[in-house]
Amino acid sequence: MRHFAVVGSGPAGFYTAEALEKAYGEGARIDILDRYPVPYGLIRFGVAPDHQSLKAVSKRYDKVAESAGVDFIGNVSVGRDVSVGELLELYDAVILATGAPHDRKLGIPGEDLAGVIGSAEFVGWYNGHPEFADLDPPLGGTHAAVVGAGNVALDCARILSKTAHEFEGSDIVGHALQALDKSAIRTITILGRRGPHQVAMTPKELGELGHLEAAVPVVELADFPPVEADEPLDPGLRKSVSILRSFADLQQNKAKTIVFDFFAKPVAIEGDGRAERIIVERTVLDDRGAARGTGETYEVPASLVVTAIGYSTSPIADVPFDGGKFVNDGGRIADRLYAVGWARRGPTGTIGTNRPDGYEVADLIASTMPPGSAGDRQGLDGLKRLLDSRGVMPTDYDDWRKIEETETANARPGSPREKYVRPSDWFAVLGR
């Protein structure tokens, strides 16, 4: 019997577990560890609550969790409760699928002012993430800004601009829905340090902005190169640029605006004890396509600033780390130690990108310890003994389901997490 520990229960972890299960069948036991008693990482805490079709992929992960050779072990933090070295003693292979949960920093003056928050925090707030559920972002001012020209920036701007009615059928948590409903924000400026041809926004996500109930996107056609210049772009980017151009034709007849400000690099955030404005420098593209400041600056008012400029992985003791992700060669970090997903590649790609990633690492593992070969590690029994000796109480599949059932018990139909179980109450639900 082989024993595998997959650390992290987001998409990368589940695809890897699925691949290992397929490769080894009854010849392996796979433990998916998570620091929280509920699984799915990015799906639960990162994907926008109004993107239910993306979240539906968790049904596939449910099947993996329910298969005989797989166990979900929650409430275990690797690096704190158990080290990677100890896991390697207990398991034939350890696969780190810990994602990239930390916000990259802008590195400009004023970034630490109240009212400046990273997208991981803001997204975590409206998704009920244990660390950010109590964030209480300032929504009392009329102006907000989102820094970055990627899909996360779009998520943040869209969530800030939607009406309560538009969240019907989403799984936004109740406290965020109530706060957003009372929000005074009327102008949301998206600051892209480069131009429309350099956006990292995809067509479907951009297209949604043109159909909002109470908000309309605004672009300046002067920021765009001539239409002919769109021709050589990759089809996806060309579509995004054409959607952005089409925003110029929309009637400005709604209460809120989402303003695209291109060639706009934040250089400072200012305010009296809290964010009031961003100082932005106009940029041009240099020969390498990077944003170069022109020296011309102006102010963008914002009492809420969300930075959506990418993420980094949490380092774990004794695992080589390059500042953003684990150092690895095609997923292999060291003997019997692997990384998958954003912890392997950095924070890029869709949820589906993690599938081939997980299967590739499972193949790599199978090439060094072929299915059918025997191992003599202790696996979960040994892990439980070790955790018990440290007073750590892991949770299991039944505990996860109990939390979810309690969460949905009182919710309105179509609003499954309206009265969700706040993370601080998880263990009360479990009677611990």
- Closer to ligand NAP by Cβ: residue 31 or 50: 50
Report if residue 52 touches ligand NAP, rule: CB under 6 A: no
Structure tokens at 30: 């796979």
Residue nearest to ligand NAP according to CB distances in the complex: 150
Report if residue 285 touches ligand NAP, rule: CB under 6 A: no
Q: Beta strands 143-147 and 332-334: pairing type?
A: unpaired
Residue span 188-207 as binding mask against ligand NAP, x where in contact by CB under 6 A, dash where not: ----xxx---x-x-x--x--
Q: Which residue has the tokens 């992929």?
A: 57
Contacting residue, 6, 116, 308, 361, with ligand NAP by CB under 6 A: 308
Would you say how long the chain is, in residues?
A: 432
Among 60, 4, 66, smallest CA distance to 32 is for 4
- Closer to ligand NAP by Cβ: residue 8 or 394: 8
Report if residue 150 touches ligand NAP, rule: CB under 6 A: yes
Contact 15, 355 (CB under 8 A): yes
Contacting residue, 71, 81, 155, 357, with ligand NAP by CB under 6 A: 155
Q: Which of residues 87-146 bind ligand NAP (CB under 6 A)?
A: 106
- Closer to ligand NAP by Cβ: residue 180 or 291: 291
Q: What is the DSSP letter of 170?
A: S
Count residues binding ligand NAP (CB under 6 A).
Answer: 25
- Closer to ligand NAP by Cβ: residue 147 or 361: 147
d(CA 286, CA 195): 12
- Can you give the three-state secondary structure of 55-122, one letter per residue? HCCHHHHHHHHHCCCEEEEECCCECCCECHHHHHHHCCEEEECCCCCEECCCCCCCCCCECEEEHHHH
d(CA 106, CA 279): 13
Q: Taking the complex as a whole, how short is the minimal distance between the CB of residue 258 and ligand NAP, in angstroms?
A: 15
Window of 10-18, 224-232, 346-354, 390-398 that interacts with ligand NAP by CB under 6 A: 346-354
Residue span 6-45 as binding mask against ligand NAP, x where in contact by CB under 6 A, dash where not: ----------------------------------------
Contacting residue, 147, 173, 219, 362, with ligand NAP by CB under 6 A: 147
Q: What is the DSSP letter of 245?
A: H
- Phi and psi angles of residue 259, each rounded to the nearest 5 degrees, phi first: -95, 120
Contacting residue, 11, 110, 124, 148, with ligand NAP by CB under 6 A: 148
- Closer to ligand NAP by Cβ: residue 87 or 309: 309
Tell me the sheet residues that pair with 122.
none
CA atoms within 13 A on the CB side of 282: 6
Q: Which residues make up the interface to ligand NAP (CB under 6 A)? A: 51, 106, 147-153, 155, 192-194, 198, 200, 202, 205, 291, 308-310, 347-350
